[in-house]
A and B are shown apart, each in its own frame.
Chain A
Amino acid sequence: MIPLLKKIFLVDLFQGLWVTFRNQHPKHIYTEQYPIQRPKVAERYRGAPRLNINPDNGETLCISCDLCAKACPENLIVVTSVRNEQTKRKDLTTFTYDTSRCMFCGLCEDACPVDALELTQDFELASYTREGLIWDRQMLEEGPKPTQYKA
């Protein structure tokens, strides 16, 4: 008898609708209005790579040890350097990073002994060309500059 009445009065339907109704409140909104409202990503976010420079004198922190290139599973980092006769150390000449093949696994940043290479919180990496995805040293030091939209 009761199941029949439940059927007639569509109890299960109203039960479900009540759940939907409870979730109508604006505090349940989860959608981000992306280009206008920019999400705040986590501190440890693994996004665009950056080659850190020493803030005091503007020199690169990278010591051209090539460890990042060796650690990368995709083999996409190319580091070249020349030997400086005065300081007896290697000076970085070029640093190429192919973001189109990168999977942002973080192995290169783990391998870097001086924290020169870092994956940062920038997540907008799109480019109009394939070549634009291959970042050189300058690009890596400056970071991407995505267009910012204002509401």
Chain B
Amino acid sequence: MAQTFLDSNELVLNMGPQHPSTHGVLRVILKLDGERVNGTECVVGYLHRGVEKIAENRTYQMFAPYVDRMDYVASISNGLGYVLAVEKLINVETTPRAQVVRVILTELNRIASHLLWLGTHALDVGAITPLFYTLREREEILKIFENYCGARLTTHAFRIGGLQYELYEGFEREVIAFCDWFMPKVAEYEELLTNNRIWRDRLVGVGILNAADCKRYGVTGPVLRAAGVKWDIRKALPYSGYEKYEFDIPVGTNADTYDRYLVRMEEMRQSIRIVRQAVGAIPEGPIMAKVPKVLKPPVGEAYVSIEAPKGELGYFIVSDGSINPYRLRVRPPSLINLQALDQMVKGALVADVVAIIGTLDIVLGEIDR
């Protein structure tokens, strides 16, 4: 019969590692039945630099700049997690002033990260315009970082025990000006995308990952919240004084790509809310707690995690009492979120794979470390 002539084998297609929509060097092997995806396999590690091994050969202070290079889109979050973990290990709490400044910078960094996500995600799905606008707004945040610590991306802004740099003249004014200027911009993105028919057609109902699956795969961050789980480490296990700020955790209902978009948009607004509260209440005082110059944490181990823009970013540090960490493990949110890709793309179309990788908001520097 005619049908037996038709070869209905699975087609194996390599997406990446140079495919632009994989946001770096991710390689996804797709098993296709026509346009449908039957299964995937991710090949990661092209960007592996052995961060955990480097840590074993550096002192605690020396290792701090390296964490910026994992999730280079949100380097300040990485730095915050690291310094908090070491501070936990040596049982020191930083000064109130340093805490507030840390919160401001981290929240600005969250916005910057979400902006880059929004721009590139929209670009993947076919909307070019938002990328230009989001990069423009991100530029303003990076300028604040540059003025504060002298670097835009790999900031190395925090030190163990506090901050290295005092605030510069006009920091508060600049941050408030940014907040005022930025809020209408979020509305502008929403105007461009939220009701856009193409955007909705490409995102609604695509890449559903419900709450139970999220927990099974250990998925955290906006992806988990879009599935309706109201969980944010900033609220659940507050660190760095987050319990003092008023903000909401946005949640979605449909657990699809579109809801994740809405959740992240709302998160940007909530971050602005936190920044506003924090800028108004920067206490006076020292920016550095008392920390010995040669850092030798007592023998022991600690796990500290923070809510990075991508999910739970954790540091597990084992100290043997020497100046180098005995073992430092990073729990990268991107890597663990990426694991759910297989579940999300099963049965979807090839074009949806691009949208789903975009919605996971992965950074390969962090996946491969």
> Provided the pairs A19-B188, A46-B150 are in contact, do residues A71 and B195 lie with their beta carbons within 8 angstroms?
no
**Do A16 and B61 form a contact, CB below 8 Å, given A44-B147, A106-B156?**
no
Taking A12-B195, A12-B196, A42-B150 as contacts, is the C-beta distance between A73 and B66 under 8 angstroms?
yes
B191 at the interface (CB under 8 A from A): yes
A103–B65 contact, CB under 8 A?
Answer: yes
Which residue from chain A places its CB closest to the CB of B148 in the assembled complex?
Answer: A44
Residues in chain A near residue B191, CB distance under 8 A? 15-16, 18-19
A107 to B195, CA, bound (A): 48
Interface 0/1 of B118-162, CB less than 8 Å to A: 000000000001000100100100010011111100101000000
A106 touches B195 (CB 8 A): no
- In the complex, B12 has a CB within 8 A of chain A: no
Q: Does B58 contact A (CB under 8 A)?
A: yes
The answer to whether A107 and B192 touch across the interface, beta carbons within 8 angstroms, is: no
Please tell me if A94 contacts chain B, counting CB pairs below 8 Å.
no
Question: Is A110 part of the binding interface, using a Cβ–Cβ cutoff of 8 Å?
Answer: yes
* A13, A30, A73: most-surrounded residue (chain B CB, <10 A): A73
* A43 beta carbon closer than 8 Å to chain B: yes
Instruction: List, in ascending order, chain A residues with CB within 8 A of B65's CB.
Output: 73, 103, 105, 107
Q: Which 10 A-B pairs have the closest CB atoms?
A: A105-B65, A73-B62, A44-B150, A46-B150, A42-B146, A42-B147, A105-B156, A16-B192, A45-B150, A12-B195
Known contacts A15-B195, A73-B58; 6 additional CB pairs below 8 A are A19-B188, A20-B129, A45-B151, A105-B154, A106-B156, A107-B62
Please give the residue numbers on chain B whose beta carbons come within 8 Å of chain A beta carbons, in ascending order.
58, 61-66, 69, 129, 133, 136, 139, 143, 146-151, 154, 156, 164-165, 168, 188, 191-192, 195-197
Write 11 A-B pairs (CB below 8 A) sorted by A numbering: A12-B196, A13-B197, A19-B129, A42-B143, A43-B147, A44-B168, A46-B150, A71-B62, A73-B66, A107-B62, A107-B65
